[in-house]
Amino acid sequence: MEVVIVPDARAGGELIAEAMAQLLRRKPEALLGVATGSTPLPVYEALAAKVRAGAVDTSRARVAQLDEYVGLPSEHPESYRSVLRREVLEPLWIDPNSFLGPDGTAADVPTACAEYEWELAVAGGVDLQLLGIGTDGHIGFNEPGSSLASRTRIKTLTQQTRVDNARFFDGDVDQVPHHVITQGIGTILEAQHLVLLATGEGKADAVAATVEGPLAAICPASALQLHPHATVVVDEAAASRLKLADYYRHTFANKPVWQGL
């Protein structure tokens, strides 16, 4: 796993957006796996600026959703489908028909999950999966205790995650759904490249457990240790509990330019 310590969220956003732009220049029809929440916004903003400047062409790019609330109509402003339309598809000029996501309103949730796995496989798999991390170490909505081999399925959010997400629902935790459909950890690990962005002091413990803790379901993000191409981008605050921070800085500063992210 590569750990890149950046001065702030904006620098992290720029670094990851450039990796996405390079991928799209190599493979214009790349399938980008995207996360919602606050952390990835600087990535989407930096990539949108490149699109507007003509530095990258997204006309053939495809986007895959990581997770979705169960029971929120897709037109609800906080359904992740709506959020991604607003924060990713529109600013990046990506065709809405190039979007893959699970149906959070399906009457038959297990079938909807299996169909989404199938769609991802038929699409050729995710080229680059952008991830955030929960304060409890979740990726997607694989909460602590999730099988490290799990596939797309329904999960119950922890109370901590619902409290964390209440800010998107007028601060009212009761409006945050209890259930989500999330790509499983096994599903996420099939992407070609995993890029996890974490910013702020609140993520420091989860980042330390992910990078330097044991591989364990109690910290689902620790599954990144199993992936041959995983990049963890953290700002100084999120990096503050990493024991090997100086080594990560040294490694990145001396990285061969041809290697990219």
CB of 114 to ligand F6R, least distance (A): 20
Q: Is 153 in the site for ligand F6R (CB under 6 A)?
A: no
Read out DSSP for 57-104? --TT-EEEE-EEESSS-TTSTTSHHHHHIIIIITTTT--GGGEE---T
Q: Is 37 in the site for ligand F6R (CB under 6 A)?
A: yes
Piece in contact with ligand F6R (CB under 6 A), picked from 47-55, 138-146, 151-159, 204-212: 138-146
Burial class (CB in 10 A: 0-12, 13-18, 19+), 41: middle
Burial class (CB in 10 A: 0-12, 13-18, 19+), 225: middle
Q: Name the DSSP letter for residue 166.
A: G
- Residue 61 phi, psi dihedral angles, 5° rounding: -65, 150
Residues binding ligand F6R: number (CB under 6 A): 13
Q: Is 138 in the site for ligand F6R (CB under 6 A)?
A: yes
Quick one: which of 8, 29, 38, 55 contacts ligand F6R (CB under 6 A)? 38
Q: Is 159 in the site for ligand F6R (CB under 6 A)?
A: no
CB of 138 to ligand F6R, least distance (A): 5
Q: Which helix (H) or strand (E) holds 33?
A: strand 31-34
- Decide whether 58 or 146 has the Cβ nearer to ligand F6R: 146
The answer to whether the beta carbons of residues 237 and 200 sit under 8 Å apart is yes
The answer to whether the beta carbons of residues 187 and 67 sit under 8 Å apart is no
CB of 141 to ligand F6R, least distance (A): 6
Q: Is 183 in the site for ligand F6R (CB under 6 A)?
A: no
CB of 226 to ligand F6R, least distance (A): 18
Residues of 160-195 as b/e, b for ≥16 C-beta within 10 angstroms?
ebbebbeeeeeeeeeebbebbbbbbbbbbbbbbbbb
Q: Is 47 in the site for ligand F6R (CB under 6 A)?
A: no
Using Cβ positions, the residue closest to ligand F6R within the complex turns out to be 132
Q: Is 132 in the site for ligand F6R (CB under 6 A)?
A: yes
- Decide whether 52 or 143 has the Cβ nearer to ligand F6R: 143
| Residues with active-site annotation | 67, 136, 138, 143
Residues of the shown chain interacting with ligand F6R in the complex, contacts defined by CB under 6 A: 35-39, 66-67, 132-134, 138-140
